[in-house]
Amino acid sequence: MGLQLYNPSGDLRLDTSDRQVRAHSFYMGSFYSGGSATVTGITGFDPNDETWAIDVLPISLYISFTASAGQFTITRSSADPFTLEAFWKVILFRV
C-alpha cells in the first residue's frame, strides 16, 4: 500500500517505499498574455536527474514550461483568449 507514480510510458517513477518526497523550493508570480518569467540560480536542480519532480500551475493549453540545469522558464502564449493577469506557481520536489 502506498503512492506510486508512473510516467506516460508506464514505467514506475516514484514508489513511497523508495524514499521520502520533500519540497525543495516554491516559486510564484503573475503575467499577462504573451508574458514569461525565468527563474535562475536553483542550486542542484537538473530536470534530467530523475530525483527531481516539478508541479506547475495553472494547467492550460496556453502555458508552457521549459527547464534546464539551475533554471526554468514559464510562458503564457499570446494566443490565450483571456486578457486578465494570470497567476502561476511552480514547486520543485526531491524524490
**Alpha-carbon gap, residue 20 to 15, rounded angstroms:** 9
Q: How many domains does the chain have?
A: 1
Domain assignment present for residue 7? The answer is: no
Q: Which pLDDT value is given to residue 1?
A: 53
Domain assignment present for residue 9? The answer is: no
Return per-residue pLDDT of the chain as tens, 95 residues: 567 888 889 988 877 666 678 899 999 999 999 999 999 999 999 999 989 999 999 989 999 999 999 999 999 999 999 889 999 999 999 97
pLDDT tens sequence across 57-82 = 998 999 999 999 999 999 999 999 98
Domain assignment present for residue 6? The answer is: no
Domain containing 55 equals 21-94
Report DSSP letters for 17-78, one per residue: TT---EEEEEEEEEE-TT-EEEEE--TT--TTSTTEEEEEES--TTEEEEEETTEEEEEE-T
Domain assignment present for residue 8? The answer is: no
Domain assignment present for residue 75? The answer is: yes
